[in-house]
Chain A
Amino acid sequence: MMFRHSSNHRSVTTAPWQLVCGLALGIASGLAGCGTGPKAEFSYREATQKLIPVARKAIKDTLEDGFGTPHNLVAWERFPVAYGGAKASVVAAAEGVQPASKTISVSVEGDVSKLASGASVLWLTGTRAGEKAAADTVDTYDTKTKTLTWSGSAEPAPGVGDVLIVGFGHALQKGRAVYMKNCMHCHGVSGDGNGSTAQFLNPRPRDYRLGVFKFTSTLSAEKVSRDDLHRVVKYGIPGTYMPSFLLLGEEETKSVVEYVRWLAMRGEFEKRTDDDLGDFTEDSIVDTVKKSKTAFDAAKVAYDATLKAGDKDAVKPDAPIKLTDARKIATEAFAKFQASDLDQAVEDTASFLAEAWTRADDEASRIAPTVPRVADDAASRERGRLLYMSDKTKCYTCHGLLGKGNGAATEDFWKKPGTEELYPRRGLHDAWGNPLQPRNLTLGQYRGGRRPVDVFRRLYAGIKGTPMPGFGKTALKDEEIWDIVNFVMSLQYQSPQPAKTNAGGHVVATDMPEAK
Chain B
Amino acid sequence: MGKLWSLFFVFSAVIAVALCWFAPDWNWWFPGDGKAHSTLGGKIDDLFHLILIIVAVTFIGTQAALGYVLWRGATIKPEEKALFSHGSHSLEVIWTIVPSAVLLFIALYQLDVWAQFRIKGAIRDSHGKMVRPEPVAELTARQFEWRIRYPAKGKPLQPQPQPDDIYSVNELHIPSGRPVEVTLRTDDVQHAIFIPELRIKQDAVASLKIPVWFDALENRDYEMLCAELCGWGHYKMKAKVVARSDADFDAWKEQASAEQFDDGFRKPAEAK
A residues neighboring B (CB under 8 Å): 182, 185, 197, 235-236, 238, 241, 243-247, 363, 367-373, 444, 450-453, 456-457, 482, 489-490, 492-493
Given known A-B contacts A197-B232, A247-B238, A451 and B145 have beta carbons under 8 A apart: no
CB distance from B77 to the nearest CB of A (A): 54
- B233 A451 Cβ-Cβ under 8 A: no
| Interface SS of chain B | loop
Q: How far, in whole Å, are A244 and B239 apart by their CA atoms in the complex?
A: 10
- A372 B265 Cβ-Cβ under 8 A: yes
Given known A-B contacts A243-B144, A247-B240, A453 and B260 have beta carbons under 8 A apart: no
Q: Which residues of A contact B260 (CB under 8 A)?
A: 450-451
The reply to whether the CB of B163 lies closer than 8 angstroms to some CB of chain A is yes
- A246 B265 Cβ-Cβ under 8 A: no
- B236 A450 Cβ-Cβ under 8 A: no
- B167 A451 Cβ-Cβ under 8 A: no
Residue of B nearest to A451 (CB): B262
Q: How far, in whole Å, are A55 and B100 apart by their CA atoms in the complex?
A: 81
Given known A-B contacts A246-B170, A444-B161, A492-B161, A369 and B145 have beta carbons under 8 A apart: no
Residue of B nearest to A245 (CB): B236
Q: How far, in whole Å, are A456 and B266 apart by their CA atoms in the complex?
A: 14
- A244 B264 Cβ-Cβ under 8 A: no
B264 is contacted by which of A185, A241, A452, A493 (Cβ under 8 Å)?
A452
> Can you give 21 contacting A-B residue pairs, CB < 8 Å?
A182-B236, A236-B145, A236-B169, A243-B233, A245-B236, A246-B170, A247-B239, A367-B264, A369-B265, A370-B265, A373-B263, A451-B260, A451-B261, A451-B262, A452-B262, A452-B263, A452-B264, A453-B265, A490-B163, A492-B161, A493-B162
The reply to whether the CB of B201 lies closer than 8 angstroms to some CB of chain A is no
User: Residue-by-residue, is B194-229 near A (CB-CB < 8 Å gives 1, otherwise 0)?
Assistant: 000000000000000000000000000000000000
- B163 A244 Cβ-Cβ under 8 A: no
Instruction: Give me the 9 closest cross-chain CB pairs, A-B, nearest first.
Output: A453-B264, A373-B263, A243-B145, A372-B265, A246-B170, A244-B169, A244-B145, A243-B144, A452-B263
- B236 A243 Cβ-Cβ under 8 A: yes
- B147 A246 Cβ-Cβ under 8 A: no
Q: How far, in whole Å, are A370 and B259 apart by their CA atoms in the complex?
A: 18
Q: Which residues of A contact B272 (CB under 8 A)?
A: 363
Which residues of B from 220 to 255 have beta carbons under 8 Å from A? 232-233, 236-240
CB distance from B253 to the nearest CB of A (A): 16
Q: How far, in whole Å, are A238 and B237 apart by their CA atoms in the complex?
A: 14
A185-B232, A368-B264 known, 9 other contacts, Cβ within 8 Å = A236-B145, A247-B170, A368-B271, A369-B264, A369-B265, A444-B161, A451-B260, A451-B261, A451-B264
CB distance from B201 to the nearest CB of A (A): 20
Q: Which residues of A contact B63 (CB under 8 A)?
A: none
Which residues of B from 123 to 155 have beta carbons under 8 Å from A? 143-145, 147
Residue with the highest number of chain B CB atoms closer than 10 Å, among A244, A363, A452, A482: A244
User: Residue-by-residue, is B163-177 near A (CB-CB < 8 Å gives 1, otherwise 0)?
Assistant: 100010111000000
Q: Which residues of A contact B233 (CB under 8 A)?
A: 243
- A246 B171 Cβ-Cβ under 8 A: yes
CB distance from B257 to the nearest CB of A (A): 11
Q: Which residues of B contact A456 (CB under 8 A)?
A: 263-264
Q: Which residues of B contact A457 (CB under 8 A)?
A: 264
Residue with the highest number of chain A CB atoms closer than 10 Å, among B162, B170, B232, B237: B170
- A493 B163 Cβ-Cβ under 8 A: yes
Q: How far, in whole Å, are A246 and B264 apart by their CA atoms in the complex?
A: 22
- B169 A452 Cβ-Cβ under 8 A: no
B265 is contacted by which of A368, A490, A492 (Cβ under 8 Å)?
A368
Given known A-B contacts A243-B233, A246-B170, A371 and B265 have beta carbons under 8 A apart: yes
- B170 A453 Cβ-Cβ under 8 A: no
- B236 A453 Cβ-Cβ under 8 A: no
CB distance from A67 to the nearest CB of B (A): 28
CB distance from A422 to the nearest CB of B (A): 34
Q: How far, in whole Å, are A458 and B60 apart by their CA atoms in the complex?
A: 68
- A453 B262 Cβ-Cβ under 8 A: yes
CB distance from B143 to the nearest CB of A (A): 7
Q: Which residues of A contact B144 (CB under 8 A)?
A: 243
Residue of B nearest to A186 (CB): B233
- A452 B170 Cβ-Cβ under 8 A: no
Given known A-B contacts A236-B145, A493-B163, A244 and B170 have beta carbons under 8 A apart: yes
